Amino acid sequence: MKFGKLADIRGVDFSLPPDPEPGRLPGKPAGDFRAYVGLSRWASKAWLGQLYPPGTRQADYLYYYARSFNTIELNSTHYRTPTPVQVEKWRDATPGNFVFCPKVPQLISHYRKLVNCEEALAQFVDSIVHFEDKLGCCFVQLHDSFGPALYPNLVSFLRQWPRGIPLAVEFRHADWFAAGQLLPQVEELLANAGVGTVITDVAGRRDVCHTSLTTRYAMIRFVGNALDATDYQRAEAWIERLDRWLRAGLETLYLFPHEPEDPMAADMGRYWIEGLNRKLGTDLPLPGLDNRPNTQMSLF
């Protein structure tokens, strides 16, 4: 992910903003917390020998990926809406605890700016519903130029979005943010629509690393810097924050680590999972062939 990347991160203040007061979480644990951690793609030869057995066919990458991580930031849908048949193939290649988090097509978010997109939206929804119970949280990434002047477009889009499908919105224009939080009007709009926010933790745009929660689920896109020491420090700070949110009523976490190279992304994902298991009491399997002793059996 190039957005907000810096060649030199010296001097960047990676501190998390404080939680908004009053927060929107109910203040007590939900009782059934679910954590999903995954990467931004599965089609990578770099994971042969790390996540995938040596010699694995590309057609089987998703099968093995889904035995290491329990979700995917499905960016391919940003460029083209898959056919229902394709969605069903992806669904059937994954285990029962796996969920897909599709990105809304750029035709809707970037080119049409969320208006005059009824047909494209209907096609997208008609496709992703074939994930069935493996459909996680969709997300719409607003273009960098999509500022508060286009607020009516967002209102119109949220009225069209199906209420039964979880959605989170990623804001990028700086004018959406004030003092480390989304504008109150936007928070209220999303909360009333039952729509969440995407929190993007990236070095060059600390404003988009907000802590505005409008639902009882959180989606975090964590952009690392080649496993720099600050990557681990930031992850630990988030794990502490998530522990507090869990105790305040957070129900679901979708966490997507990004790194400049795929093996690094897998390593960062593993670090996150270890931390969540340790601090939040989750029981997520650790990714990697060394944690699946029977994986090689599938080759014979």
Domains recognised in the chain with CATH numbers: 34-299 (3.20.20.410)
Question: Angle between the 84-92 and 118-128 helix axes, to the nearest 10 degrees?
Answer: 30
Asked if 202 contacts 240 with a C-beta cutoff of 8 angstroms, the reply is no
Bridge partners of residue 64, in order along the sequence: none
Residues recorded for the chain: 300
Question: What is the predicted pLDDT for the residue at 134?
Answer: 98
Identify whether 148 is preceded by a cis peptide bond (ω within 30 of 0): no
Strand-strand pairing, 177-178 and 181-182: antiparallel
7 Cβ neighbours under 8 A, 6+ residues apart: none
pLDDT in tens for each of the 300 residues of the chain?
Answer: 789 999 999 999 999 999 987 789 999 998 899 999 999 999 999 999 999 999 999 999 999 999 999 999 999 999 999 999 999 999 999 999 999 999 999 999 999 999 999 999 999 999 999 999 999 999 999 999 999 999 999 999 999 999 999 999 999 999 999 877 899 999 999 999 999 999 999 999 999 999 999 999 999 999 999 999 999 999 999 999 999 999 999 999 999 999 999 999 999 999 999 999 999 999 999 999 876 544 433 332
Rounded Cα distance between 137 and 216, Å, is: 12
Bridge partners of residue 138, in order along the sequence: 167
Asked if 40 contacts 1 with a C-beta cutoff of 8 angstroms, the reply is yes
CA 295 to chain centre: 27
pTM: 0.95
